[in-house]
């Protein structure tokens, strides 16, 4: 299910950032999966995540032999 950008922001952040900030995030690819634009509004998947690029995924731990 898709939510309007403002509703998604309210669910993900407290306090919610401004729409202008969120639109910059979209432009820079920081919301995954990317929102879709319908007319003048953006719609975001309800399970979408904000990825700012500062955190790196952890690699699997190597087991010593």
pLDDT (tens digit, 9 = 90+) per residue, 11-22? 999 999 999 999
36 close to 16: Cβ distance less than 8 angstroms: no
pTM of the model: 0.76
Mean pLDDT of 4-10: 96
CATH at residue 19:
1.10.1660
Provide the pLDDT for residue 64: 66
Residue 59: pLDDT band (50, 70, 90) is: low
pLDDT (tens digit, 9 = 90+) per residue, 26-53? 999 999 999 999 999 999 999 999 988 7
Domain of residue 17 covers 2-47
Count of the separate structural domains present in the chain: 1
In a domain, 60, yes or no: no
In a domain, 61, yes or no: no
In a domain, 28, yes or no: yes
Could you tell me which residues come within 8 angstroms of residue 35 by beta carbon, excluding any fewer than 6 positions away?
Answer: 5, 26, 42, 43, 44, 45, 48
């Amino acid at each position: 299910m898709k939510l309007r950008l403002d509703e998604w922001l309210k669910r993900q952040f407290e306090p919610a950032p401004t729409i202008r900030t969120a639109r910059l995030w979209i432009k820079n690819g920081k919301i995954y999966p990317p929102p879709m634009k319908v007319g003048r509004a953006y719609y975001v998947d309800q399970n979408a995540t904000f990825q700012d690029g500062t955190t790196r995924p952890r690699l699997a731990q190597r087991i010593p032999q």
